[in-house]
Amino acid sequence: MDSGDAGIAAPGNGPGSVPAAVPPATGGPGFDSRSLRIALLGYRSNPYSGGQGIYIAALARALTDAGHRVDVISGPPWPDLDDDIGLVRIPSLDLYALDNHVTALRPRHFRSATDLFEYFSMLSGGFPEPFTFGRRMVRWMLANGRDYDVVHDNQSLCSGLLTLQDRGFPVVATIHHPIQHDRDIALAHANGWRHRLLIRRWHAFLRMQTRVVRRLERIVTVSAASRADIARAFGIDEAGIDVVHNGIDTEAFRPLAGIPRRDDLLMTVASADQPLKGLAYLLQAMKLLEPGHPDLQLLVVGRPKADGDTLRRVRSLGLEERVRFVHGLTRQEIVEHYARATIAVVPSLYEGFGLPAGEAMACGVPVVSTRGGALAEVVGDAGELVPPGDADALATAIAGLLADPGRRRGLAARGRTRVLERFSWTVTARRMTDYYLAMLEQRAGRALRSRTRSASPDS
């Protein structure tokens, strides 16, 4: 037996688990559509792992509030879930959490082909987690998962999804945006051929994801812009991809009374050393703004590498006294920073949805954003939009808003209203439920037609 499944935990009655006595929905005739049994899959789901971790926890909460029974089936690092949401832990070697992954191999790992693949792939510069999560997840699902009405993958796009689909599981996958964009932008900013080789090696998992995406029966994404980009990147028909927008937690991300708003503070939320997030262009814009706004400050919610390009750029531009980095914040602390900020800036070259833009708008902060990816779709007419990768345009838009407090107030109010009407998690859960029910109805129709053909004397 492959020992890679050792220690896999099923939902129980402890914190973060669904009581074992909860009856599953059947998906059959007369079933209660208000109470589907849903498995949400994520190869890593900690909220600090990025937007995908935030998405899976928020979607699980919204679907549970809508009356469904939800289990999150996740590899480490684990999601942060409320007690009424089930958590099935799918252990991995979790090599990224180790101080030295080279020394992580133990004799027991030689009993597991999955463990060995994960170790040696990581050792050679690859990113094996989506594939190895899929192998371990399939073992658990085949043994325990037959009662789920819906199996919803959160962009692992692992080969295991095809195994489940072929075994009759109702599978749908969310693709937030094509990772090909991340790879191509990283390659464009690479320092030499060795760096480019490492980037291509790390993104080798895209070959698996491409094969999987082309065979999946159901794909959903979070914006119309992502739908078009996914179709191009994976070579599939855009008509086969459905859109259900991301949600914003409008109760957590909200305007705060009693915190004075400054008139000299920009704020951005960005993975500091990822070229895709466009922070380099915002730093250049800060330098361009310096003569007319010598007291302007920039708060970056993100952790730069000590030897990375971002801190080198801050030093080379002479911005050490004007740019501050913070990380490891609670959601409430981020909301409090938004309450103080004059303007929120989203300089990304590309976003599949753009949670930082939506969250800033929900907090009643005027937004300057690029049009990269889906950002224009999210921001609409409730913010200032500029071309991606254009420091001059960023600086001009920021300067214009700094000089016009009335427009800042108008955009702030419009942004909050836009998020409430279009992007709340309540709206997202309702639309996702409709999507699930349409999928199940279509499957039931196919099954009925198949039985009818089988029973026909002429078949």
**Residues found in the chain:** 459
What angle is formed at CA 170 by the lines to CA 169 and CA 172, rounded to 5 degrees?
125
Q: Please list the residues that pair with 220 across neighbouring strands.
A: 174, 242
Are 129 and 92 a contacting pair, CB within 8 Å? yes
Q: Three-class SS of residue 358?
A: helix
CATH domain 3-247+427-453 topology:
Rossmann fold (3.40.50)
- Asked whether residue 52 carries a pLDDT value surpassing 80, the answer given is no
- Euclidean distance between CA atoms 234 and 106, whole angstroms: 38
How confident is the model over 235-264, as pLDDT tens digits?
999 999 999 999 999 999 999 999 999 999
How confident is the model over 61-97, as pLDDT tens digits?
999 999 999 999 999 988 889 999 999 999 877 777 7
Q: Give residue 19's pLDDT band: very low, low, confident or very high (50, 70, 90).
A: very low
State the amino acid at position 106 in one-letter form.
R
Q: Which pairing describes strands 241-243 and 265-269: parallel, antiparallel, or unpaired?
A: unpaired
Where are the domains positioned within the chain?
3-247+427-453, 265-422
- Asked whether residue 6 carries a pLDDT value surpassing 70, the answer given is no
CATH domain 265-422 topology:
Rossmann fold (3.40.50)
- Euclidean distance between CA atoms 226 and 287, whole angstroms: 32
How confident is the model over 138-167, as pLDDT tens digits?
999 999 999 999 999 999 999 999 999 999
